[in-house]
Amino acid sequence: MHDLKAVSTLFDLRGDFVHGYSYGSGHINDTYCIWVDQAGQRIRYILQRVNHNVFKQPIPLMENVKRVTDHALKRLKEEQCPEAYRRTLTLVPSVDGKPYALDADGNCWRVYPFIERARTYDQIETTKQCQEAARAFGEFQKLTADLPGEPLFETIPDFHNTTSRLAALKEAIQSDPLGRVKEVQKEIDWYLSREADCHLVVDYLKSGELPLRCTHNDTKLNNVMLDDVTGEGICVIDLDTTMPGSAIYDFGDMIRTATSPAAEDEKDVSKVTMRMFMFEALVQGYLSSAKSFLTPLEKSLLPFSGKLLTMECGIRFLTDYLSGDVYFKIHRPEHNLDRCRTQMALVESIETQMDEMKAIVDRY
């Protein structure tokens, strides 16, 4: 537990620290809710320490967040949105006017006003929640589509570069540090047989046929706050991986994380399936906000995006298994291999339903 009172004095909160506590279910940054007394009124804020072991350059990351949130707020105000400060994260400046503050130990901190009367869900319970979360991610892309200036800083280089991910897998196969290749030749052959798919979006981005956009790059549906009363997608959160990318990556990760009822590490892969009604909810929500700026090629690749991002994740799990489980935390010896196999099963489910998925995208 950090000294939250001391950290809070680094920010221009215009009030007195009352108390704070750990908040949320995130696994990377340290997140706290703090209460501040402002002239007799208790106000909540989110106080976060950026994990510099994961994000090696937190200051450029915070400059990204500042640019994106300032622009989103500007756009919302131009649209005369009555809840502009509730529809985007906004940074509270430090006492020296920066969007972050460094403590005595060099930790990078930030503060957001607490968005009231809304919450996130670790498990999506209804198609309406799925639809609203997808609509919110589309709205986020729409608000940032005309972000001026130079491209954003890459907080994690080549994060969704499937060509690079495949190259890392081949390197792990070649080096085989733990002698595991012979145990998983079937899985290796399965992924390598789909190599052409791994290059498609990367090649389109290089040629300029797909536009480079400001994308979230971690579109788990628990990164959207839903209104407590209406269920509407209010605000996209967790902007640390917001950087240049493809809209295909964002939508594909929604398919990967939202459409299967099985856990990511389910041992019984017969439980893994791409549920069409959840896919349709994603399409309906996303295109309701995103279709005005997406190109025809981007729209045509939406069904394929789920296959691509699921393959990418499976490749990462298999690479980590071959390398000795050095990246993803494991709780059993073949944990990463189980994860790899669930991704394979989901890809196969998507492949068998691709024609119907394309028909749904065309419909909306």
Q: What is the pLDDT along the chain (364 residues), one digit of tens a residue?
A: 799 999 999 999 999 999 999 998 777 899 999 999 999 999 999 999 999 988 999 999 999 999 999 999 999 999 999 999 999 999 999 999 999 999 999 999 999 999 999 999 988 889 999 999 999 999 999 999 999 999 999 999 999 999 999 999 999 999 999 999 999 999 999 999 999 999 999 999 999 999 999 999 999 989 999 999 999 999 999 999 999 999 999 999 999 999 999 999 999 999 999 999 999 999 999 999 999 999 999 999 999 999 999 999 999 999 999 999 998 889 999 999 999 999 999 999 999 999 999 999 999 9
What pLDDT shows up at residue 327?
Answer: 87
What pLDDT shows up at residue 124?
Answer: 81
For residue 207, what are its two tokens?
């040629």
301 — phi, psi (to 5°)? -90, 0
What pLDDT shows up at residue 25?
Answer: 76
At which residue do the structure tokens 């994106």 appear? 68
As a whole number of angstroms, the distance between CA 339 and CA 316 comes to 10
What pLDDT shows up at residue 24?
Answer: 84
Distances in Å between the alpha carbon of 147 and those of 59, 63, 133, 236?
Answer: 19, 13, 22, 17
What pLDDT shows up at residue 27?
Answer: 72
Q: Which helix (H) or strand (E) holds 279?
A: helix 276-290
Which pTM value belongs to this model? 0.93
Nearest one of 363, 361, 362 to 282, comparing CA atoms: 361
31 — phi, psi (to 5°)? -120, 135
- Gyration radius of the chain over CA positions: 21
What pLDDT shows up at residue 120?
Answer: 93
What 3-state DSSP class applies to 94? strand
Q: Do 265 and 342 form a contact (C-beta atoms < 8 A)?
A: yes
As a whole number of angstroms, the distance between CA 72 and CA 143 comes to 5
108 — phi, psi (to 5°)? -95, 125
What pLDDT shows up at residue 91?
Answer: 98
What pLDDT shows up at residue 123?
Answer: 81
